[in-house]
Structure 1
Amino acid sequence: MSAPDSKFPAARKWLGVLCLLSAAVLAPAQTTTRIATDAPIVNFRLPTFTPEGFRQWLVRGTEARLMSAKEIDIRELTLTVFSGDAQDRIDTMILSPNAKVLTDTQVVSGTGAIRVIRDDLEATGTLWTYDHREKRVSMQQKVRVTFRAELKNFLQ
């Protein structure tokens, strides 16, 4: 009795060619995608989620540049901070023409203008920092705050 390959030498040859072609086509798909740090990312979006899977914040910008693995420079920043629970309510929006995002510490900062929008207040200023873990915005210059809430006994 002869081996099955000896009966179909042409089929074995085509099978070998097919295997080589498959390897050539699939090899590029298995390579790691690299992002160039010298080219901007247009219409940038970076969402973060709580351990439970709820939206925590969304960083968006018209253009972003990866300065390092932990630092992103963003033009036309829109930072949306969510409640982080099942309500998925927008808590705060932060707008700025230019900002730096430190992804490991969840700190966003800028030297230019900032606008902070909440249901109860709106604030503007310059030379600012937003610390997401502390839920705190600090502005050092040209600060203006407009409250939309009743301030009972504020002047007493």
Structure 2
Amino acid sequence: MKHTWLIWFLLPLLLGGQSRTHIGAPIENFRLPSFGEDGNRIWDLRGDKGLYLENGEIEVERMILRTFSPGNPKDADLTIESPKARIYPEENRAAGPGYLFLEASDGSFAIVGRNWQWFNDEQKIVIGEEARVTFKQAIGSILE
């Protein structure tokens, strides 16, 4: 055959050899959604780069994590951003040593801090250092 070299060149592409993810290989424009038992989205993780580790954890650079309530899987409740994070998918949790910026989707509050942990199952965020919370709604008179 005249073009046998072309078949050998294209064969790995046709068999999917180029599309497999290897542990330790960085993934550009990383995205990982998580779904509940009912099939609705629980959270949606994005990052500029993701790296699967051998222990099942994922390191993400420039993380954006959006969480969703069970009754509304289309609109995010919270958006959490951090320059670097470690994701524990089996535990529905994430953590990072650097800064975290969290904002409620309705704009009612925002949180900034360092050395953070997010526990989705408990709907809890722990900020270890330099925590600042800003409420963006009226809380009424505290002197009454």
- Structure 1 counterpart of 2:86: 100
Structure (1/2) with the larger strand percentage: 2
Other-structure match for 1:132: 120
* Other-structure match for 1:64: 50
Task: Describe the SS at the equivalent of 1:104.
Answer: helix
- Aligned Cα RMSD in Å? 2.2
What letter corresponds to residue 52 of structure 1 in structure 2? Answer: D
Paired-residue identity, %: 27
Q: Secondary structure at the match of 1:100?
A: strand
Unpaired stretches in structure 1, ≥5 consecutive residues: 1-24
Distance 1:41 1:74 in 2: 9
Structure 2: gaps of 5 or more residues: 1-10
What SS does the corresponding residue of 2:83 show, helix, strand or coil? strand
Distance of 1:104 and 1:83 partners within structure 2 = 19
Q: Is the 8 A contact 1:55 1:85 kept in 2?
A: no
Check if 1:123 corresponds to 2:111: yes
Mapped partners of 1:89, 1:155: distance in 2 = 36
User: What amino acid does structure 2 have at the position aligned with 1:147?
Assistant: F
The answer to whether the 8 Å contact 1:40/1:64 transfers is yes
Q: Distance in 2 between matches of 1:91 and 1:134?
A: 15
Does the C-alpha gap of structure 1 residues 89 and 30 become closer, same or farther in structure 2, counting only changes over 3 Å?
closer
Residue of structure 1 aligned with 2:41, choices 36, 55, 70 = 55
Cα distance in 2 between the residues matched to 1:102 and 1:131? 10
Q: Which has the higher helix share?
A: 1
CA displacement at 1:52 relative to structure 2: 1.6
The whole-number CA distance in structure 1 between the counterparts of 2:39 and 2:130 is 37
- TM-score for the superposition, normalised by structure 2: 0.80
Aligned length: 129
Q: Highest Rg: 1 or 2?
A: 1
| CA distance, structure 2, for counterparts of residue 102 and residue 139 of structure 1 | 17
Instruction: Provide the residue aligned with 2:134 in structure 1.
Output: 146
The alpha carbon displacement at 1:29 in A equals: 3.9
Greater mean alpha carbon deviation, residues 80-89 or residues 54-63: 80-89
Q: 2: distance between equivalents of 1:89 and 1:113? A: 25
- For 1:152 and 1:121, the matched residues in 2 are separated by 15
What is the TM-score when the length of structure 1 is the normalising length?
0.74
